[in-house]
Chain A
Amino acid sequence: MYGDTSIQKPIKIAEPTSAEQAKLEEIFQQKIDDDIKIEPQEWMPAAYRKTLVRQMSQHAHSEVIGMQPEGNWLTRAPSLRRKVILLAKIQDEGGHGLYIYSAAETLGTSRAEMIEQLQSGKAKYSSIFNYPALTWADMGTIGWLVDGAAITNQVALSRGSYGPYSRAMIRICKEESFHQRQGYELLLTLSKGTKEQKEMLQESVNRFWWPSLMMFGPNDANSPHSAQSMKWKIKKKSNDQLRQEFIDATVPQAEFLGITLPDPDLKWNEERGHYDYGAIDWEEFGNVINGNGPCNKQRIANHIKAHEDGAWVREAAAAYAEKQQKKQVA
């Protein structure tokens, strides 16, 4: 997801057109190898900029679209405590989207352009948000698994080579921990509840487990242009590495909750020092990312509607600013 754009058309890496450009590329790569961050105004290869804009805008879109499945439950939260928590979490997701849009704009792409690409379907966002949130337990599962997977990814991204993106990730990781913990706590409460509540918990985890694993993107063998992103340190760890990290951290937490994970092949491998896991249904992943998931159309339609419904606010604010400016001049 955030660290992976390998399901899309590769970005062409142009050969240097002159000796001067080759020299610039060499200096650039040396900086990356020396772990010196790249800052906005500095020279960078066109493909580096393009890869970053694509990845960052899709990351930002994911945060913003991710507000929808949770927003669905705001009015039905079972207590005021849960409601204010959920509200704060959703507000954070909006904030995270804005941090990343702001960082992406330093590369010379306008906010309006990015939003248009999201709404027209040209830009993708994380496949996970195209699944519906059907039960209250999903509010816990999303925090625990979806935000848990996001943290695994974002910790790696916070060490990336582009300064503004890396700084946005550090900020986000600090806040994300609250998201995962509130989700796990919600599930713990359900696990101590009635038979129905326990069933609701198990059913929710059954639905979200595989889509959460898909969030890390295709297997390394099918992620051909990851290598360039690794070389540029846009990406610090491979999809399979991150997936494994997430699984290893999550299985004991599931045991503590007293639930099972829906994978008969999931078991500890003493020799590898990791959990083995079953095959992921990549056909489903492809379908969902390409627009045929359960909620794709609804998510984008909601985004467009909110954007259009808010047009009068933007117009009014712009008119007000203009009026004030004229007053000052006069």
Chain B
Amino acid sequence: MTKQTTEKEWPLWEVFIRSKAGLDHKHCGSVHASDAEIALESARDVYTRRSEGISIWVVPSNAITASKPEDKESLFEPADDKIYRHPTFYDIPKGAGKM
């Protein structure tokens, strides 16, 4: 019991799965593994037991840089007032046909 507390934990890997051809890889969870190869095999066993995927990415969790929740406003709010970026901003007469 004392042993396991001193034992070094295997690194954490984030798992991304492409569920079928044509779709993006999507994050689905994480696994602990000593190296990338074992991470792939564990991810396969844990996350694709029922044909949930055709391709897996594993990425060391500490290699991911994430935006901070508190930066949400400064990062994403500027997009809200740029309504001219959306097609519905423009009035096109019916006569012009489908556009």
Contact = CB atoms under 8 A, between A and B. Distances in A.
A307 B69 CA distance: 37
Main secondary structure of the interface of A (DSSP, over half): helix
A321 B31 contact: no
A240 interface: no
Nearest to A120: B1
A119 interface: yes
A21 to B, nearest CB: 14
B52 to A, nearest CB: 9
A151 interface: no
B12 interface: yes
Nearest to B72: A42
Contact of B34 (A119, A175, A307, A320): A320
Contact of A119 (B1, B30, B35): B1
Contact of B69 (A43, A98, A311): A43
A112 B35 contact: no
Contacts of B33: 317
Nearest to B33: A317
Contacts of B35: 317, 320-321, 324
Given A95-B46, A119-B1, A105 B12 contact: yes
A92 B49 contact: yes
Q: Looking at A91, A95, A168, A314, which has the most chain B CB atoms within 10 Å of its CB? A: A314
Contacts of B9: 110-112
Contacts of B5: 112, 116
B13 to A, nearest CB: 10
Count class of interface residues, chain B? 20 to 34
Given A112-B5, A120-B1, A42 B69 contact: yes
Contacts of B28: 171
Contacts of A318: 8, 10, 34
B85 to A, nearest CB: 25
Contact of B4 (A116, A171, A320): A116
A209 interface: no
B12 A41 contact: no
A110 B32 CA distance: 11
A304 B1 contact: yes
A56 interface: no
A100 to B, nearest CB: 10
A14 B66 CA distance: 29
A175 B52 CA distance: 12
Contacts of A42: 69
Interface of A: 39, 41-43, 88, 91-92, 95, 98-99, 102-103, 105, 110-112, 115-116, 119-120, 168, 171, 175, 304, 307-308, 311, 314, 317-318, 320-321, 324
User: Nearest 7 CB-CB pairs, A to B?
Assistant: A317-B34, A321-B35, A321-B34, A102-B29, A42-B69, A102-B30, A112-B9
6 contacts: A91-B49, A102-B29, A105-B12, A112-B4, A116-B4, A318-B10
